[in-house]
Chains A and B, each alone.
Chain A
Amino acid sequence: MGIFLHIGRYVLWMSRVFKKPEKWSIYRQRIFEEVQNLGYASIGLVSIVSGFMGAVLTIQLAYNIDSPLIPTYTVGLGVRDSLLLEFSPTIISIILAGKIGSSIAGEIGTMRVTDQIDALDIMGVNSTNYLVGPKMIAAMICNPFIVIMSMILGIFGGYIAGILTGEVPGSMFIYGIQYWFQPFYITYALIKTVVFAVIITTVPAYFGYHAKGGALEVGKASTVSVVYSIVIVLIFNLMLTQMLLQ
């Protein structure tokens, strides 16, 4: 199917996500469930990735700027800006696209091929709104917190790595992360995170929702959805960076 047909169908399908829910109390309850499924369940993975990412960044920066002309605190500054601007919002969103994206496509795709979505539609439930809306809202709420946690753990990982390897003294690293701090970087990162949250939940949901056939097709839909999500995240990353940092 042509890419433009997918885009058109996605836009029409998304318009159903924003319809009024049948019952707000159930919708609210589903958002809480999805916060648990998509947000809370991702904390472990994000913590591990962020800690190691910060540590590796510190070691690489220290190795690359090994010059008496560049002050040591530059490592802390470099780690902070790399994490705030790119690694935490974008790389963590890409990791989440793999983790929660495949889970969403698998769940909704299985519901499609086992007629559960048809059952919802026949009952008169707006299945798109009921299934996708809470996931999207939950990710829009959770992901900014997860990304802020990733920033903190990444910087902490870098700090520990600097001390343990002896490349960056702790006081220099802390001075570096405070040096010439731009609060707008946090706003920029959070804007990106919220946009990416919409992409990494709705794109896999779209592929799952339109899956046909059986388990094999659901598996393919899951894989394709993750690839599309990542590519779309990267395209939007470029566009948002150009718009927000110009």
Chain B
Amino acid sequence: MIEVKGINKSFGEHHVLKNIDAQFHKGQVNIIIGQSGSGKTVLTKCMVGLHEVDSGSITYDGRDFTSMSFKDKKEIRQDIGMLFQGGALFDSMTVEANVMFPLSMFTDNTTAERKERAQFCLERVNLPNAAQLYPSELSGGMKKRVAIARAIAMNPRYLFCDEPNSGLDPKTGLVIDQLIQEITEEFDITTIVITHDMNSVIEIGENINFIYKGEKWWEGSKEEILRTDNQEVVDFVYASKFMKKVRADLAK
């Protein structure tokens, strides 16, 4: 479980995160939603240590990440897998080398063992024949799947996904969402998905946190979010015509 308590973060005069408390549970897909600019990505970057928090604490299964030494943080980071919005694959490496990269850096496995693990991860994301391709030869959805394969290569305990289906068509987005859910259950990891796509929320969301203007505004399940009367959440969830229709159907 990952727990954040009283997180504050400012950039100059701009107070981006305001006293955020949240718990992200193991074996569940925890979702952070909110409008663009609400502070979702900053919160995630604070949680993985890319930004230092101004105050508050972040604990990974009871270990306080904010007060850790650089060396200890490095160890925790080897338990973290991250899926970036654009995939963040290394352009100069093949798909196989990308997936093998963390294994090469942090394990003493032989090349054969690393290749075997990379192939297992690629098969797990349904890309068994992509090993020798370069990222520039992949579609958006394939890049995301390779990024997932790289994220799970080290058997992470925590998986962060930053807008995993942005820029993808709805069908491919659904495939990625389902893959994230399957991996969360299969590897029993704590998964945090940052999104503003309501399809993802309804499809895979278990514990949903709504961030509004840098504050944790609402928390609940996907069933609860559809029936909440919190005005800011309602405005966000039912922004599209399609969702308005869903709301009307729910009301009947």
Contacts and interface: CB of A to CB of B under 8 A. Distances in A.
A122 B105 contact: no
B88 interface: yes
Contacts of A123: 77-78, 101-102, 105-106
A125 B73 CA distance: 11
B67 to A, nearest CB: 18
Contacts of A121: 49-50, 77
B151 to A, nearest CB: 9
A128 to B, nearest CB: 13
A115 B77 contact: no
Contacts of A115: 84-86, 88
B105 to A, nearest CB: 5
Grouping DSSP codes into helix (H, G, I), strand (E, B) and loop, the A interface class, with mixed when no group exceeds half, is helix
B105 A118 contact: no
B106 A119 contact: no
Nearest to A113: B86
A26 B104 CA distance: 8
Contact of B104 (A23, A122, A124): A23
Interface residues of A, number: 15
B82 A122 contact: yes
Contacts of B82: 118-119, 122
Contacts of A114: 86, 88, 91
A116 B89 CA distance: 7
Interface string A12-48: 0000000000110010000000000000000000000
B154 to A, nearest CB: 8
Nearest to A37: B92
Given A115-B84, A119-B84, A124 B106 contact: yes
B90 A116 contact: yes
A15 to B, nearest CB: 12
B105 A26 contact: yes
Q: Which 5 A-B pairs have the closest CB atoms?
A: A124-B77, A115-B88, A119-B88, A115-B84, A124-B74
